Every structure is written in structure tokens, then in C-alpha cells.
Amino acid sequence: MEEEVIIPIKIVKRGSAKVKVLSESEDKKINKYLCRALVKAYKWEHDLMNSSEPELYISRNKLSKRYMMRILKLNNLSPKIKKAIMDGSFPQDILLQDLITRELSLSWQEQEHLLLERGK
């Protein structure tokens, strides 16, 4: 099951370069590091699934296998958590480092309770 997530961006020209700017609402701050990590996790998983030689893909892209495995863990997050990260409603005190180093349950309900409902 695929879920479509829309990330609002605005292209701003600054000098001679164009810059993509994530639009932010006043009350929600989007954690750009978490967003980038989610995108990397999705891309790397897709690329690895289509690669006949994963080790070659890892070395060609100059990736650390340990770092890649930590980022790939983000693909196991529940869709509600991924959506909250992308739309800025995810708790600001939880950082990327917390998610990739912490052992999270594979149960989506437990993840949501631990990460989304703890502040309520």
C-alpha cells in the first residue's frame, strides 16, 4: 500500500541560483533533517531492491554500511509518524539521532503511542 505525501515547496531565485524552500506554517516547524532522512531511506531501499549487487551500490555511492542500515530503519515507521514528520506536526524534541539509534517496536500502534501521543 502506497501513500502519497505532498511536501509544499517554493522555488526562490537568489542571485544566480535557484533554491528550494520548504514552506512552513507559523505553528509547525518541519525538521528538514528528518524529512531528508525519510526520503533517503525510501530511495536507498528502492535502489537496493533493484540492484543486483548491493555491496557495489554501497561502495559506489560512498556510503557507510552501518549508517545506511540505521537510515533504512526509518522505512519501518508507521505511516502516521512519517506523515507527521513531513507536515511538521511531529514533536520537535525528537531528533533524527533519536530515531536511528533507538530500538523501536515494529508495531505501528506502539510506535505511535511512544512517539506521537507522549506529549499529549
Task: Give 70-79 pLDDT, tens digit per residue.
Answer: 999 999 999 9
Region 88-113 average pLDDT = 91
Q: Per the domain annotation, does 19 fall within a domain?
A: no
Q: Element (H or E) spanning 87, and its range?
A: helix 79-87
Closest C-alpha among 50, 48, 101, 111 to residue 76: 111
pLDDT class for 68, splitting at 50, 70, 90?
very high
Q: Per the domain annotation, does 14 fall within a domain?
A: no
Q: Residue 114's pLDDT is what?
A: 92
Q: Element (H or E) spanning 17, and its range?
A: strand 17-22
Contacts of 62 (CB under 8 A, 6+ apart): none
Q: Per the domain annotation, does 52 fall within a domain?
A: yes
- The burial of 35, by beta-carbon neighbours within 10 Å (0-12 exposed, 13-18 middle, 19 or more buried), is given as buried
CB of 41 closer than 8 Å to CB of 33: no
Domains contained in the chain, number: 1
Q: What is the pTM of this model?
A: 0.71
Q: Per the domain annotation, does 120 fall within a domain?
A: no
pLDDT class for 51, splitting at 50, 70, 90?
confident
Q: Per the domain annotation, does 66 fall within a domain?
A: yes
Domain limits for position 94: 31-115
Q: Per the domain annotation, does 85 fall within a domain?
A: yes
